[in-house]
Amino acid sequence: MNTEFDEIRPYNDDEIKQVVEELLHDRQFSRILKGLVPWLPQGVRNFIIRTAFIGVNSTLDFQMRFMKPVVKYVTHKCADKVTFDHTGIAPGDERFTFVSNHRDIVLDSAILDLLLANAKFPTTCEIAIGDNLLIYPWIKKLVKLNKAFTVRRGLSPRELMESSQLMSRYMHHAINEKKENIWIAQREGRAKDSNDRTQESVLKMLAMGGEGTPAERLKHLHITPLTISYEYDPCDYLKAMEFQQKRDNPSFKKSKQDDLDNMKTGIWGKKGHIHYQTAPCINEWIDSLAHLPKAEFFTAVAQRMDREIHKGYMLFPGNYVALDLLQGNTAHQPHYSPAEKERFEKYIQERIDMIKLPNKDVPFLREKLLAMYANPVINKEKAVG
């Protein structure tokens, strides 16, 4: 058995049964389950959960039997609709590395798994997740059951290089040997202003594994740009608050509790319409950049990735209202009605009212909130223009 990836990989099939038992006896995990179905008595709830785990012998089983119903419940409760356009790719023998913008800590990949299953793709995704989010033992167990492999954070330069090489080798192994799809964000952490940009360091990491030229190594992963669009970001007011906290105190860092609050808010907050859009696999165009020197090559690939992701945005009336309010004009008025403008302005004020800070800078917070919703319009107009 290959033990090279034991430190970061999801659980193997022969580990599932024991981990499930440990989860079912974890008090914190039990409290989370109670929050999902608070109306059920504990005995009934435990019986249903245990029944759900019968026949779970692989991570894919876990996703289909446990995560799929949970994600369907969350999206039904907290989103108006969820749509998926995968015309850029099709179910078949190929596996894909979905490189996407990052909107929600938990749901980005979880919703993708549900959409792939509904669209009859052969399997779901293994998920890259930062170990800084594995706050409690039950979270680590849950995400590794959910096909997650861990990205180590807070490393020295030497440790980061070794960790990146290991992760890249694992991703090539997952795509080409395990025949799994992969989801990974285009950058470390969420773009809190929704100005989504692909970090070249992510592409360079992907090209550390495999063999051949940088272009050939990336082609082995079948990288597919993926765009995630939210009509409303449940964490928008938390992101705006963090902008002011970092402005007022440059050394400010979120606590573990802050991360947990962001996860809870992202899962259960209002989302409106959610849309996932795939672009064609980059193998269709990457050879046109292969002649470039190595440094220029990764820059060019990142820029092309950004253009594909930006073209995939689904824009909503609030996005256009935000840009016009930010720029002080009515240039995008054909895209929204007076009622839609009034409704979005009311929404922004409600989000500002939710922010609790001792020196609350309302104009600054309002500008940051508007920018989150305006940037997708700006970027899409540039991409399609």
Q: Which of 145, 179, 138 is nearest to 67 (CA)?
A: 145
How many CA atoms within 13 Å lie on the side-chain side of 171? Answer: 33
Judged against a pLDDT cut of 60, whether residue 357 lies above it is answered with: yes
List the domain boundaries for the chain. Answer: 13-234+269-313, 318-384
Average pLDDT over residues 253-280: 92
More reliable by pLDDT, 327 or 53: 327
Residue 366 has pLDDT above 70, yes or no: yes
Q: Which residue has the higher pLDDT, 54 or 150?
A: 150
Judge whether residue 328 has pLDDT over 90. Answer: yes
Q: Is the pLDDT of residue 1 over 60?
A: no
* pLDDT tens per residue, range 91-135: 887 899 999 999 998 899 999 999 999 999 999 999 988 888 788
Query: What does the CA dihedral 22, 151, 368, 99 come to, rounded to 10 degrees?
Result: -110
The DSSP secondary structure of 256-304, one letter per residue, reads: HHHHHHHHHHHHHS--EEEEEEEPPPGGGTGGGGTTS-HHHHHHHHHHH
Average pLDDT over residues 329-339: 98
- On the question of pLDDT at 338 being above 90, the answer is yes
> Residue 351 contacts by C-beta under 8 Å, 6 or more apart in sequence?
236, 237, 240, 369
User: Does the pLDDT value for residue 240 go beyond 90?
Assistant: yes
CA–CA separation, 239 and 194 (whole Å): 10
* 289 Cβ contact partners less than 8 Å away, ≥ 6 residues apart: 215, 297, 300, 301, 304
Query: pLDDT > 70: what percent of the chain?
Result: 98
Rounded CA separation 286/224 (Å): 12
Chain-centre distance for alpha carbon 363: 29
Provide the pLDDT for residue 295: 87
* pLDDT value at residue 35: 67
Residue 153: how many other CB atoms lie within 10 Å? 13
Q: Which residues contact 46 (CB under 8 A, 6 or more apart)?
A: 24
- For residues 153 and 118, which has the higher predicted lDDT (pLDDT)? 118
Q: Rounded to whole angstroms, how far apart are CA atoms 383 and 380?
A: 5
At residue 133, the pLDDT reads 78
**Average pLDDT for 207-233:** 97
- Percent of the chain at pLDDT > 90 equals 74
State the pLDDT confidence band at 354, using cuts at 50, 70 and 90.
very high
Grade residue 141 by pLDDT with cuts at 50, 70 and 90. very high
Dist. CA 193–CA 376, nearest whole Å: 10
Give the residue-averaged pLDDT of 236-259: 93
What's the whole-number mean pLDDT along residues 261-267? 90
Query: Does residue 279 surpass a pLDDT of 60?
Result: yes
Computed over every residue of the chain, the mean pLDDT equals: 92
pLDDT at res. 31: 77
The more confidently predicted of residues 54 and 147 is 147
Which amino acid appears at position 192 of this protein?
K
- Residue 196: is its pLDDT beyond 90? yes
13-234+269-313: in CATH 3.40.1130: yes
Banded pLDDT at 36 (limits 50, 70, 90): low
> CA-CA distance, 373 to 326, in Å (whole number)?
10
pLDDT grade, residue 308 (50/70/90)? very high
With a cut of 80, say whether residue 204 has pLDDT above it. yes
- Summarize pLDDT for 216-226 with one digit per residue, the tens: 999 999 999 99
Q: In the prediction, which pLDDT does 181 show?
A: 97
